Amino acid sequence: MKFDELDRKMRVFETAHDQVVLPEIYMVARLDGRGFTRLTKEEHPFEKPFDGGFRELMATTTRHLMNSGFKVLYGYAQSDEISLLFDLGENSFGRKIRKVHSVLAGEASACFSVALGAPACFDCRISRLPNAGLVVDYFRWRNEDAARNALNAYCYWTARKQGSTVKEATAFLSGRSVAEKNETLFGMGINFNDLPSWQKRGYGFYWEQYQAEGVNPKTGETVVATRRCIRQELELPKGDAYSAFISAFL
């Protein structure tokens, strides 16, 4: 059997079930750290419940993904997850989901591992959102999830640091309302409202243009060029203001 014939015969097993994101559908990728509970609790001495060094590892990875060949309009990170909003016209790999999954997961895993100096792995999934309103809802969802997780994390780790066992700290959270958790945390010396915004709501990344002076190598004249960089926002707006913030990228 000639190679071309063999190639056509076998390649169908790779591509027969390829799914693509249809045109005019928004794509949002979410990457999650695989086994990061073990990585952050057992393998590396990160501060609990939040660590500035870990945040910078996630920020480095998010910036890298925004520069990895896809047109990403907005990046959002909280805990061990990263969400990326693609431009509506993004067409890399013909919008094949398996290609986007594998490339982003590989890029994130490689970047984070190099920055950490130890192996780390991310998985990836794509949300296919048919309108701008659902894109806003997606990022509101992750933003609210960050707040819920932050409150639980502070309650759990504060209890642990004050002598509770794993079982006791876990039972301590069971069945309590948000108001009760806030009140209990306040009784342990922490006002949740006063904590850094990035811990409670995550942090965002977007492209920002700026003017830079340079020299024309042919004429020697000073010229002004428009360049762009990624801005990191640690103080994201809340509620409806965050919805408006996201809508501005669409």
Give the model confidence (pLDDT) of 188-213 as tens digits.
889 999 999 999 999 999 999 888 77
Residue 174 pLDDT grade (very low, low, confident, very high; cuts 50, 70, 90): confident
The residue-averaged pLDDT of 63-72 equals 97
Position 3 in a domain: no
What pLDDT is attached to residue 94? 95
pLDDT of 18 over the 90 cut: no
pLDDT of 241 over the 90 cut: yes
Does 226 or 25 have the greater pLDDT score?
Answer: 25
Position 2 in a domain: no
Residue 215 pLDDT grade (very low, low, confident, very high; cuts 50, 70, 90): confident
Position 222 in a domain: yes
d(CA 231, CA 81): 18
What pLDDT is attached to residue 62? 98
Position 12 in a domain: no
What pLDDT is attached to residue 216? 82
**How does the average pLDDT of the chain come out, rounded?**
93
Position 201 in a domain: yes
Domains held by the chain: number: 1
DSSP state, residue 179: H
The residue-averaged pLDDT of 84-113 equals 97
Position 170 in a domain: yes
Position 11 in a domain: no
d(CA 195, CA 83): 23
Highest mean pLDDT (candidates 9-18, 127-136, 161-170, 176-185): 127-136
User: How do beta strands 81-86 and 72-78 pair?
Assistant: antiparallel
Residue 121 sits at the vertex; the CA angle it makes with 87 and 203, to the nearest 5 degrees, is 50
Position 13 in a domain: no
Please state, as a whole number, how many other Cβ atoms lie within 10 Å of the Cβ of residue 146.
22
pLDDT of 102 over the 80 cut: yes
- pLDDT above 70 as % of the chain: 100
CATH number of the domain at 104, please. 3.30.70.3000
Q: What is the domain extent for residue 90?
A: 19-247
